[in-house]
Structure 1
Amino acid sequence: MAMRWEPFLDQIRERGEYENPEEAARAARTVLALLGAHVVGDVRAELAARLPDELALVLLNPLQAREPLSPERFVRATAAWIEGATEQTAAWDVGAVLSVTADAAGEDLTRRVLLQLPAGYDLLFGHPQQP
């Protein structure tokens, strides 16, 4: 079941401590557009189905990545796409968006998303893997 736009954005706004919904929406669109290039097939379709329609389209029509980005490079790429962002603010954006996305996805789907990503993304999603 897809989350609705306002509750999803409210959670991102709260976790990211954004001043307005526009900042939260910009972070969500950028992070999910980058994530969409890394997640493929049924997993991407299932994740899109749990997101608000506006963000499902972003995930399904991603920014292209020539190679899977490490978590650090993913944060750097996010900073490059958000005007005025630094790596520190981008790390905050990524954490806020991906942790809310993980909540919307649920434990099983989040685990399957993480299997498609390079090591270290578990921390960005706020779901550290147990050793």
Structure 2
Amino acid sequence: MTVRREAFLARVKERGEYDTLQEAERAARVVLALLGAHLVGEVRAQLAARLPEGYALILLNPLQSAEPLPPARFVRAAAAWIEGATEQTAAWDVSAVLSTVADAAGDDLLKEILIQLPTGYDLLFGHTRPT
């Protein structure tokens, strides 16, 4: 089931403790563009189907990445793309967006997403990988 744009943004805004929806929107766009570069095939398509249309398009037309970035480099990349961000604020931004994405994805799809990502992303999504 697709999450409505307003509900998605409201969750990101709440989790990121942003003052405005515009701040939440900026973080969502950057993080989803970076995430899209790390996911392939059916997993990316299934996640896109569960996101609001505008965000689905960002996920499906990602920023290019030569290799999957480890979590710390993913956060640094987000910091570079989010105007005025530091690594600390970008970590907050990434977590706010990815935890909202995890809710939209559901547990089964999230497991598939985490299989495609380097170790450690489970924490960015607000979940710990089962041992």
Query: Is TM (by shorter chain) over 0.5?
Result: yes
DSSP 3-state at the match of 2:113? helix
Kindly tell me the number of residue pairs found equivalent between the two proteins. Answer: 131
Q: Deviations over 1:72-107 (max 9, x none)?
A: 000000000001000000000000000000000000
1:127 aligned partner, one-letter code: H
- Match of residue 73 from structure 1: 73
- Distance in 2, Cα, partners of 1:28 & 1:34: 10
Please list every run of at least 4 consecutive aligned residues from structure 1 whose deviation after the TM superposition is greater than 3 angstroms: none
Shift of residue 130, structure 1, vs aligned partner: 2.5
Unaligned ranges ≥5, structure 2: none
Q: Deviations over 1:18-76 (max 9, x none)?
A: 00000000000000000000000000000000000010000000000011100000000
Q: Alignment identity in percent?
A: 69
- Match of residue 91 from structure 1: 91
1:107 aligned partner, one-letter code: D
- Match of residue 115 from structure 1: 115
Shift of residue 129, structure 1, vs aligned partner: 1.1
Unaligned ranges ≥5, structure 1: none
Aligned-residue RMSD, C-alpha: 0.5
- Distance in 2, Cα, partners of 1:67 & 1:114: 15
DSSP 3-state at the match of 1:63? coil
- Distance in 1, Cα, partners of 2:5 & 2:83: 23
1:78 aligned partner, one-letter code: A
